[in-house]
Every structure is written in C-alpha cells, then in structure tokens.
Amino acid sequence: MSALTIADQAFTSRLIVGSARFPDPKTMRDSLRASGAEMVTVAIRRANLTGKDGEDILSYLKEDNFFLLPNTAGCYTAKEAVTTARLAREALGTNWIKLEVIGDDETLFPDVPELLKAAEQLLLDDFIVLPYTNDDPITCRKLSDMGCAAVMPLGAPIGSGMGIRNPYNLRIIREQVDVPVIVDAGVGTASDAAIAMELGMDAVLMNSAISQARHPVQMAGAMRKAIEAGRAAFEAGRMPRRLYASASSPMGGRIEVSGTDE
C-alpha cells in the first residue's frame, strides 16, 4: 500500500483513530496498537486526558510515538475554534489541527460559514489545517483552494455508524480537489471503511466505530485490514460494471458438442 502524505508528513497507515470514549485507558491503548494507526486525534476541549485511576492518556500516546492531531471538537464559532487551536499548539507543541466548527448539538453538522472563517484565520497563523466538513464538493474545493492540507468530508453524521451515505459526492470531491480526502465520521463497521477506500479516499478517520464496539481491540484490527484491502482494491482497479452477463472464458475455440438420440 502506498504511503499517505499530508503536508510534509508521510504515513504508512491510512487509518486515523480518535482517542475518546473508550471504556478505559488500557482498552484505548490496545485498540490503537491493533489498528496500526500512526495518527491519533485528541479533543482539546472535551477529552479527559487523565483516566479514572490517574492514568495519563496523553503520556500513553506519546510513549507509543503516535503523531498527535489535536482537534477543536465542541467549538461552535470560528473564534472558539481559533482559540482552542492556539491552546493546542501551546499544550502539545504542534501546529497541526483538525478543525471542527459545529452548527448544533442535534446533528453535529459543520457550520460552514464559521468553518471557512476559522480555516482562513488559522492558515494565516501558520497552522496545518485539516477541516471536518459536509460532503459538499463546493465547500471542500474552497477549503482546498485556500490552502488546507486535507479536506475531511463526513460519511454520515458523527457517531451515527450509518456508513457512507453519499458515495457520489465523495467521488466528485476526490476528482475536484488536489489535497488528500479523508472520510471523517459515520463509519460503523469494517465494510464501511473498505467502501470509502475503494471510492478512492486517501484515508478514513474514526473513533466511535472502534471505541463503542463490543470488542474494541478486535474491531480495531478489523478496521486495519479493511483499510488495507479497500486501498489495495482501489489501486488495483476494479473491473467495469456491466448491465448484462459476460462470460469469463472466451467463446472462440469451443469444443463442439453434437446432440445424440437416445
């Protein structure tokens, strides 16, 4: 599988995993290891970086050499998001940010005007911006054109597990932007991740699909295989779809079989 390059950073894995909502720090750590992911997101405003037993989740992530991607989850305005990103840069020593600006608590869909405003401000402040956005080709193109390092359209609403609801828009986005396209949100099981990769997406970001599974570590391993298989299938190039059947063996040179009377 070819490497994923975002900005000036290359990653062997095309799976990005969140660090929230795991039953306990050990399950989180084991799941992240099983996933094979190199990049892990950390919600600066909402994540409890200290476990119930005093275990420091952030230290686990650093010990395992994960590339940390702080995010602005829980922000509802451009001002909140920019402030949170700057706090993350001070706390974690990185200028990478997964930008989220949410419109409401019910749908958790992005507030596009505020998202565009925040992205513009953060780019001027020398951040490497990876924005979570709607599966809208126009918005994704605007974010790409202004200099975002990747675009992250949703597959379905956050935490819904509904899978890839609009593959056609995702294909258009992939054709119209020159930066990596990372499906973010909505994945529920391994087949969803494989479908996203088969569509030509560069990576998939997920959290609840692993952390809320009955067996998170096992699901993390399944997601790793699905990402790898989906990407390999995309790179191999699928056969054309046909309305009618097409024989797999050639018609020429067939053995003639004559009928006999009994």
Task: Identify the burial level of 21 via C-beta atoms within 10 angstroms of its C-beta, where 0-12 means exposed, 13-18 middle and 19 or more buried.
Answer: middle
Q: Which residue in 98, 117, 142, 225 is the catalytic one?
A: 98
Please state, in angstroms and rounded to a whole number, the distance separating the CA atoms of residues 151 and 144.
7
185 annotated to bind ligand = yes
CA atoms within 13 A on the CB side of 223: 33
CA atoms within 13 A on the CB side of 135: 22
Contact 154, 135 (CB under 8 A): yes
- The per-residue b/e assignment along 41-54, b for 16 or more CB within 10 angstroms, e otherwise, is bbbbbebebeeeee
117 catalytic per annotation: no
71 annotated to bind ligand = no
Q: β-strand 15-18 against 39-43: which pairing, if any?
A: parallel
Any alpha helices (H) in the chain, and if so which ranges? 25-35, 57-63, 78-92, 112-124, 137-146, 167-176, 190-198, 208-211, 216-236
Contact 72, 85 (CB under 8 A): yes
Please state, in angstroms and rounded to a whole number, the distance separating the CA atoms of residues 40 and 206.
10
Please state, in angstroms and rounded to a whole number, the distance separating the CA atoms of residues 155 and 166.
7
Report which residue type is found at 178.
D
159 annotated to bind ligand = yes
Q: β-strand 9-11 against 4-6: which pairing, if any?
A: antiparallel
Active site residues per annotation: 98
Residues in the annotated binding site for 1-deoxy-D-xylulose 5-phosphate? 159, 185-186, 207-208
